[in-house]
Structure 1
Amino acid sequence: MIKLSELKQYAKLHIKSQDFQGLDPQQVLNSIYREPTHDGEDDGAWDLIWIKAAKQSLKNGHVSDAIQCYNFARFPYPETDAQKKASQELVRTFENHYCDENVKKHTIYVQGKSLSFYTANLDQSKPCLLVLGGIVSIKEQWSVFLKAGKTMGFSVVVTEFPGVGENRLTFHESSHQMIGKILDYLSRQADVENTFIVGMSFGGQLAIKQALEDPRIKGITTVGAPINRFYQEYSEATVPLITRRTLSHVCNLRDDELQNHMRSLALSAKQIQKLIIPLTYIFSARDEIIPYSEKQFIKQNVSNLKLIEFDDIHGSPNHLEYIQKMIPLSVLKQSGSKNIKLKIILSALLMIENLKKRVGKK
């Protein structure tokens, strides 16, 4: 089992990306004294303490807090019975409070396994924005995009990586094809011929791989996607335990089977050189998961590249305010959106963020 210290360390990074309204997540973390429990006793157990916080948040009327508490209860993936129940409660709570005439849930089958996703603002005349997380993040975590679709002028799809949440697929060489199946399903409900993808971490790699085969994808924005070097240089000595265990889960493999499997997932230079659509890549210089050599591989082999680098760890959690504005602006620019007003607002906000950083350095 993953050690509590590592669970807390990585949970803190994800907490930074969430906006809690009625509780202090750090206080919840401080009250946890042991790993997720298999015995059902809640004396400081990771999963049960987060579940208790979720139930209290619901009583207090803070639904979004409850969803994120259930999210951390099952973090990084459901292993104990309590974590599995938390994952189910998370989905149930989200559907009960957020699914309506605009936000809908869909389930399709790929290779005989179910895959669920949410959509919003579906319109055949609007381009498609597909959002895909990595090996840890659930689709409900990216619900902000469901709300932003109307403002941005996009039909929005929010889904999950294989092995995460309600995606029953496993991560292998052809996992990227699930993206094509989603677009096929939505072909009469959105303009999928003009699809733009925001792929977080490992989700970005799936987006790139699908784009090499699927002309409907016109642009990709990613944060810390492993493309080649991560897989080629994969080793237990350099990849954090929590990442290795989570990869074992999404690949449905034992830890000792992972290394050879990772090699098979790498995109070669020859493959990625065929990527002609715009790729915005946000790179973290101190990434503890993606090796720094990945940056050089990307620069050497991606022709239509906008590379943004932060002196930060995986996902650049200390630069989230910048990233949260950069991502929609990237999508709007890639799509040639005529929403000039929104582009100006986002550009101005990014300038303010840059000024803040310059002032802070003085």
Structure 2
Amino acid sequence: MNYLDEVKTHVLLHGRAQGIDAAECRRVLGTIRTLEDDEHGWASRWTAEASKYRERGRALDAIARDNLARFPFAATEMQENASARAVFEFGKWARSSGVAENLAVEYNGSRTTAWFGSVDTDGPAPLVVVLGGIVSPKEQWGRLLPHFRKLGIAAVVIDLPGVGAHRSALYGPDSEGYVSAVVDAAATRMRLSGVYGLAMSFGGTVMLRAAAADPRIRGVVAVGSPTQYTFVDPWVQKAMPAITRRTLESVTGAQDLPSLLPELALDRQHLGRLMIPVHYIRSLRDEIVPTADANVLIAHLARAAVVDFDDVHGSPHHADAVRMRSLSALLEMIRPGSLSARTLSAVLMAGERVSLVSPVDLGRRVPA
């Protein structure tokens, strides 16, 4: 598979995560001949799609397609423009809808911003920190903010250092400090009853490292996140897709990626300090993160739960089920025993029992 075809394959997950159906993705991808900035180039075709939705006043749909225009990272002028436009347009939508506001974050001597959605309460409230991976900017996950608000849960969506608009820092061994800096900033806006992480792919690694150091983080849901083998096993790294390797080189700035990767892993010290509940969603045919990475959590953490989907990285063919699993786990962490948590849990348990005859695959919980 050449690099362009690999990018086309991996973008489907991120299109679906933003409400773009597979048929539209394939239609647009069929018109793309190159990753360069020309008439049939990647950014050109996705930017054209974004413009159509923007003209119809469908802001979030336009932002989603601009996000795909800069996928997997902004390497050309048109991709840089699409990335900046997505950030600007999301800010306009967030302010006009009252869903979110800019949250200024000081981190490692630099300043960046996150999108913060508060809740109406005078007392302390839970905060969910949403963190994407190395290819998904915070604007991709910003559409989650209204859903958390309806549940009475404050939320903040953030970029992994080196991703999207967060260019003042790079993804590295100290990136977990950014999560704590975000919590510090949120704590100036509201009283926190507890902090919970929802993180995807490499963002999950950073979130787990942050949780090992920051006692304010009381639970983490991680989707397809590397823990050890992705970072330390040369055979796993040799099989790593080119899109992952190139994106890691971009967001880390590494000249020698194999030397840096071991520093990004969860080590014994991190694992030994993780006493919180960790809910991990694993894809059994993951082409980036081996199944053994979830086994590390099962072996070392007393409160780890793993759910398997027969799918590739991120389980794009089970997007709705992954969302249900993630929300159920978060609600059980935040409001254990509540009606909403019990209801979702009951639905998922019933789905597991009838999985052989059900048209919807809700995944399989791995026995503890």
Scaled by the length of structure 1, the TM-score of the pair is 0.91
Unpaired segments of 5 or more residues in structure 1? none
Q: CA deviation at 1:258?
A: 0.2
Quote the RMSD (CA, aligned, Å).
2.2
Partner of 1:247: 248
Summarize the alignment of residues 25-44 of structure 1 with structure 2, pairs less than 5 Å apart.
25-37=25-37, 41-42=38-39, 44=40
Q: Report Cα offsets for 1:112-166 as digits up to 9, x if no partner.
A: 3332111112455211111111101111111232111222221111111111112
Pick aligned residue for 2:44 from 33, 41, 48:
48
Task: Report if the CA contact (8 A) 1:332-1:343 is conserved.
Answer: yes
2:191 matched residue in structure 1: 191
- Is 1:119 the counterpart of 2:116? The answer is yes
Q: Secondary structure at the match of 1:325?
A: helix
Report the equivalent of 1:17.
17
Matches of 1:338 and 1:292 in 2, distance apart? Answer: 30
Shift of 1:269: 2.9
- Counterpart in the other structure of 1:61: 57
Range with greater deviation from structure 2 (7-16 or 194-203): 7-16
Does residue 91 (structure 1) correspond to residue 81 (structure 2)? The answer is no
Q: Secondary structure at the match of 1:273?
A: helix
**Kindly, what percent of the aligned residue pairs are identical?**
29
Equivalent pair of 2:124/2:192 in contact (CA under 8 Å)? no
Q: 1:302 to 1:337 in 2, by over 3 A?
A: closer
2:217 corresponding residue in structure 1: 217
* Secondary structure at 1:99 match in 2: helix
Cα distance in 2 for residues equivalent to 1:315 and 1:353: 20
| One-letter identity of the residue aligned with 2:286 | D
Residue 280 of structure 2: aligned partner:
281
Cα offset for 1:353?
5.0
Cα distance in 2 for partners of 1:298, 1:36 equals: 41
Cα distance, 1:25 vs structure 2: 2.6
Aligned residues: 353
Q: Is the 8 A contact 2:230 2:289 kept in 1?
A: yes
Indicate the SS of the match to 2:357: helix
Shift of residue 216, structure 1, vs aligned partner: 0.4
184-193 vs 156-165, greater mean Cα deviation: 184-193
Contact 1:128/1:191 (8 A) holds in 2: no
Query: Does the 8 Å contact 1:234/1:262 carry over to 2?
Result: no
CA drift of 1:167 comes to: 1.3
Letter in 1 for 2:16: K
CA distance 1:211–1:193, shift in 2 (3 Å): farther
Q: Distance in 2 between matches of 1:246 and 1:261?
A: 14
> What is residue 341 of structure 2 aligned with on the other side?
343
Unaligned runs of 5+ in 2: 361-368
Write the letter of the residue equivalent to 1:197: G
Provide the C-alpha distance between the structure 1 equivalents of 2:226 and 2:90, rounded to a whole number of angstroms: 30
Cα distance per residue 1:90-133 (max 9 Å; x no partner)? 11111112224441012323113332111112455211111111
Report the CA distance shift for 1:98/1:355 in structure 2 as closer, same or farther (over 3 A): farther
Distance 1:281 1:66, change over 3 A: same
Q: 1:229 maps to what in 2?
A: 229
Could you tell me how far apart the structure 2 residues matched to 1:178 and 1:234 are?
A: 28
1:254-295 deviation per Cα after TM superposition (whole angstroms, max 9, x unaligned)? 3xx000100111222343032100000111111111122213
Q: Post-superposition shift, 1:63?
A: 1.9
SS at match of 1:95: helix
Q: Distance in 2 between matches of 1:234 and 1:301?
A: 22
- The partner residue of 2:101 within 99, 104, 112 is 104
Separation in 2, partners of 1:361, 1:148: 26
